[in-house]
Chains A and B, each alone.
Chain A
Amino acid sequence: MKEVMAVIRMNKINDTKRALNEAGISSFTATGRVQGRGKGMVDYRILHGAEEGAPEAIAQLGEGPRLVPKRLITIVVSDDWVDKTVNTIIKTNQTGSSGDGKIFVLPILEATRVRTGETVEGPSGGDVLDSSGGLL
């Protein structure tokens, strides 16, 4: 099993949910608003605004990169569903400019279904996972 953790743009969350659902990956956890910064790419609209002397733009120019609001989503899938999940997220969220986000794939050792208490390990996730690879 793998955990696919993605940091995406706030306004892409609904598209991502729909796309994942259509791809057959229905289980999904979304964390509310998170704040993040990336490699420090510059938002040119703010720079442009600051050059023109707009006070609200100047106020946003800090010492370091600004924190940008993002959504954090996590999906646990079987190993053979990782590529499909990652590709779906990339396809839905890609605008080509910096700030689209990152996807991290982390190993999961064990999954337990709370309703029944059954635990599974290993790459496929066994019968705790439904046919779509999501946790039932």
Chain B
Amino acid sequence: MSKLLVRSIVRPEKADAVMKALLEAGFPAVTKVPVCGRGKQRGLKVGEITYDELPKEMLMTVVPEADKDFVVKTVLGAAKSSETGNYGDGKIFISPVDDVYTISSGVKE
């Protein structure tokens, strides 16, 4: 079955909650990358100063195609900063993965 790479960019303070939710949902394998970026709101404007490199955490996980919707729902549920959500809660990007190899065994999955 083909696999998908799910890259979720979430608030740093929500990263632990998302990782916990993923673990409980049965997706233990995650790579966490600290990143900086801005979104559609062009960063945060506080008075005269614009912050356009806001710190976020990128969580990368590779999942079977069939589990895509479930994983997205899990991340969404844990990453929202309130019931309705706020600007800056992040984005989820999904891209196809052709092959997956485990280095320790050299096996192609």
A residues apposed to B, CB below 8 Å: 2, 6-8, 31, 34-40, 63-65, 67, 70, 72, 82, 86, 89-90, 93-107
Contact = CB atoms under 8 A, between A and B. Distances in A.
Contact of B104 (A37, A96, A106): A96
Contact of B96 (A82, A100, A107): A107
Chain B residues touching A, majority SS? strand
A76 to B, nearest CB: 13
Contact of A99 (B5, B31, B104, B105): B104
A102 B100 contact: yes
Contacts, number: 88
A122 to B, nearest CB: 15
A94 B97 CA distance: 22
A93 B103 contact: yes
Contacts of A63: 20
Contact of A97 (B30, B34, B62, B104): B104
A6 B101 CA distance: 9
A36 B102 CA distance: 15
Contacts of B99: 82, 86, 103-105
Nearest to B28: A40
Nearest to A108: B95
A107 B5 CA distance: 11
26 contacts: A8-B103, A34-B32, A35-B31, A35-B33, A37-B28, A37-B29, A37-B30, A40-B28, A64-B20, A65-B23, A65-B28, A70-B31, A72-B31, A86-B101, A98-B104, A99-B104, A100-B104, A101-B103, A101-B104, A103-B99, A103-B101, A105-B98, A105-B99, A105-B100, A106-B98, A107-B98
